[in-house]
């Protein structure tokens, strides 16, 4: 025990407080599986991308990232972005859209996603209002998601919607999250599950995954600090090992690091990549 305490103490000092020792790491170490690929949402390093998006992508690839969500707006064209991503070994996988757009505006967004060879479009706020969400809000959102999902499918793209905590706050009957999942066509609409926001809303990310096996192709890997604030993966209290173990069973292939309002984007990417490369489950 004394050797282990000494090791942990030295490790914490060596990282200058950037990576907190996660008590769940010892549990994760019992497994043999690991993530072969993981990505990041470009906004986590927004300032760095704005300053020099090519250098940022190059460094991210050196950290170990193989996929990216968004970010093409920093390049002069989708072709330039796609070409450079290929050069450094990062694959664009999905990008955000406004699901309230219609007609030519919506088609333009799908055209851009196809130009980037992305397979998913995600709406980060699938609601017409700010919540709390009630049954009538859910009905409108589910209908719109199915409509946009139909258009997406016609363009060879799968539509995803991204959750926050309010989808796990009870309404007249049940949860908004369950309503959207149960009233959207699985062939047209899936979910990009944000692990942090599920927990923040009072849900259990592992149980949500199990309940909706096959409906969640993408995970947002965001950790929770003890005070429930955002924190970079590996520094908080979420048991990613058990979540990833279930995700592996389901064949989920896309894991994107996210941390809202991150003041040190590159530092967060560096520590997150190190954590994910070493995580066993």
CATH code assigned at 253: 3.20.20.150
Segment 123-147 mean pLDDT: 97
pLDDT confidence bin for 18, thresholds 50/70/90? very low
Residues recorded for the chain:
281
Question: Residue 30 falls within a domain, yes or no?
Answer: no
116 in any annotated domain: yes
Residue 15 lies in a domain: no
Rounded to whole angstroms, how far apart are CA atoms 268 and 37?
Answer: 17
At residue 30, the pLDDT reads: 63
Please say if the pLDDT value at position 22 is more than 70. no
Q: Is residue 100 part of a domain?
A: yes
For 29-72, the pLDDT digits (tens) are 468 999 999 999 999 999 999 999 999 999 999 999 999 999 99
Which pLDDT band, with edges at 50, 70 and 90, does 8 fall under?
very low
Q: Is residue 160 part of a domain?
A: yes
Q: Which domain holds residue 184?
A: 35-278
Confirm whether 138 is domain-assigned: yes
pLDDT of residue 31: 87
Output b/e per residue, 176-188; b: 16+ Cβ within 10 A: bbbbbbeebeeeb
Residue 8 in domain: no
Structure tokens at 222: 């965001």
The structural domain count of the chain equals 1
User: Is 63 within a domain?
Assistant: yes
3-state secondary structure the chain: CHHHHHHHHHHHHHCCCCCCCCCCHHHHCCCCCCCCCCEEEHHHHHHHHHHHHHHHHHHHHHHCCCEEECCHHHCCCHHHHHHHHHHHCCEEEEEECCCCCCHHHHHHHHHHHHHCCCCEEEECCCCCCCCCCCHHHHHHHHHHHHHHHHHHHHCCCEEEEECCCHHHCCCCCCCHHHHHHHCCCCCCEEEEEEHHHHHHCCCCHHHHHHHCCCCCCEEEECEECCCCCEECCCCCCCCHHHHHHHHHHHCCCEEEECCCCCCCHHHHHHHHHHHHHHCCC
pLDDT at 100: 96
């Amino acid at each position: 025990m004394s050797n282990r305490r000494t090791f942990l103490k030295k490790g914490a000092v060596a990282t200058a407080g950037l990576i907190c020792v996660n008590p769940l790491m010892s549990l994760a170490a019992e497994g043999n599986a690991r993530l072969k690929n993981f990505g990041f949402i470009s906004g986590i390093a927004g300032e760095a991308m704005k300053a020099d998006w090519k250098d940022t992508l190059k460094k991210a690839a050196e950290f170990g990232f193989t996929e990216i969500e968004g970010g093409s707006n920093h390049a002069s064209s989708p072709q330039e972005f796609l070409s450079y991503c290929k050069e450094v070994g990062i694959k664009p996988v999905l990008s955000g859209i406004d699901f309230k757009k219609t007609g030519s505006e919506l088609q333009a967004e799908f055209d851009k996603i196809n130009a980037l060879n992305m397979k998913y479009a995600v709406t980060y706020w699938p609601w017409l209002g700010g919540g709390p969400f009630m049954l009538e809000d859910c009905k409108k959102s589910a209908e719109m998601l199915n409509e946009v999902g139909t258009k997406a499918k016609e363009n060879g793209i799968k539509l995803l919607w991204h959750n926050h905590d309010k989808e796990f706050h009870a309404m007249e009957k049940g949860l908004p999250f369950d309503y959207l999942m149960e009233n959207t066509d699985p062939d047209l609409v899936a979910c990009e599950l944000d692990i942090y926001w599920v927990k923040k809303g009072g849900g259990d990310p592992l149980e949500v995954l199990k309940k909706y096996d096959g409906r969640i192709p993408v995970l947002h890997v965001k950790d929770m600090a003890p005070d429930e604030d955002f924190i970079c993966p590996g520094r908080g209290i979420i048991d990613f090992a058990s979540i990833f173990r279930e995700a592996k069973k389901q064949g989920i292939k896309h894991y994107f690091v996210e941390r809202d309002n991150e003041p040190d984007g590159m530092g967060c990417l560096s520590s997150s990549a190190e954590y994910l490369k070493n995580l066993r489950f």
